[in-house]
Amino acid sequence: GAGVSQTPSNKVTEKGKYVELRCDPISGHTALYWYRQSLGQGPEFLIYFQGTGAADDSGLPNDRFFAVRPEGSVSTLKIQRTERGDSAVYLCASSPGGLTGELFFGEGSRLTVL
Amino acid sequence: DQQVKQNSPSLSVQEGRISILNCDYTNSMFDYFLWYKKYPAEGPTFLISISSIKDKNEDGRFTVFLNKSAKHLSLHIVPSQPGDSAVYFCAAKEDDYKLSFGAGTTVTVRA
């Protein structure tokens, strides 16, 4: 497809489990972002990749969260020992390079931790 | 600490009338502002933007106004249409790549 693709669209897991969320950005976009949107809030920045490297991971809430983008395209957000407070919609976005204009968002992965 | 604030969680407007959405920010280093629109179960989509060197940008039915001295921007939609019913997020750019978002305003356009 032409847009940003995120899988799974919905994930329900139990407290303490490990979760992986995948993002396939628009082809050719070098910049990739993860945001998290909690109920009633706007998206909050988690991490920014330029190519393969994480240029800014200052938004990751703690060391249970980690993201990779090994080949500069697909990215995976990994959450260890999930907690109920991790429940949110995780949004991935890409852009051609840096932020000269808008971000292109995927539909998000809704994570529910029971 | 919320650097971008949308103090009105919801707005209801009659079809054909003007919708005015407001946004305030605290960080004077923000140099670029954007509005995103979001339908249920979809990701936000870019709507319109404005650079800090301008005070107005217009695109069809959508106009964004920026008042730097007041750290305030607004989005005007005129005339409002049923398809405009959505959540609107104000966002501000810092560090060349990071966006800070407001909490959103849900717009309902009544027929």
% of chain B exceeding 70 in pLDDT: 100
Spell out the domains of chain B, with CATH numbers in brackets.
Answer: 4-110 (2.60.40.10)
- Taking phi over 0 as left and psi of -120 to 50 as alpha, with beta for the rest, B69 belongs to alpha
Residue A111 lies in a domain: no
| Residue of A48, A101, A105 with shortest CB distance to B44 | A105
Residue A84 lies in a domain: yes
The pairing of strands A104-105 and A109-113 is: unpaired
In the predicted structure, residue A29 carries a pLDDT above the cut 60: yes
In the predicted structure, residue A49 carries a pLDDT above the cut 70: yes
Residue A49 lies in a domain: yes
The Cα A12–Cα A20 span in angstroms is 12
The total domain count for chain A is 1
pLDDT at A100: 58
% of chain A exceeding 90 in pLDDT: 80
DSSP string, A90-113: EEEEEESSSSSS--EE---EEEEE
In the predicted structure, residue A99 carries a pLDDT above the cut 60: no
- The whole domain housing A54 covers 5-96
Alpha-helical segments (H) within chain A: none
Alpha carbons within 13 A on the beta-carbon side of B11: 26
pLDDT at A1: 55
A74-109 b/e (C-beta count within 10 Å ≥ 16 → b): ebebebeebeeebbbbbbbbbbeeebeebbbbbbbb
Which of A89, A105, A107 is best to mutate for the B interface (most B CBs within 10 A)? A105
Residue A103 lies in a domain: no
Listed by number, the residues of chain B in 31-70 with a beta carbon closer than 8 Å to a beta carbon of chain A are 32, 34, 36, 41-46, 49
Residue A113 lies in a domain: no
Residue A43 lies in a domain: yes
Q: Is A66 on the interface with B (CB under 8 A)?
A: no
Q: In Å, how far is B83's CA from the nearest CA of chain A?
A: 19
CB–CB of A102 and B89 under 8 A? no
Give the pLDDT band of residue A54 (cuts 50, 70, 90): confident
pLDDT at A15: 97
Residue A101 lies in a domain: no
Give the pLDDT band of residue A101 (cuts 50, 70, 90): low
CB–CB of B43 and A55 under 8 A? no
Radius of gyration of chain A (CA): 13
Q: Tens of pLDDT along B92-103?
A: 998 778 899 999
pLDDT at A46: 97
Residue A46 lies in a domain: yes
CATH of the domain at A85: 2.60.40.10
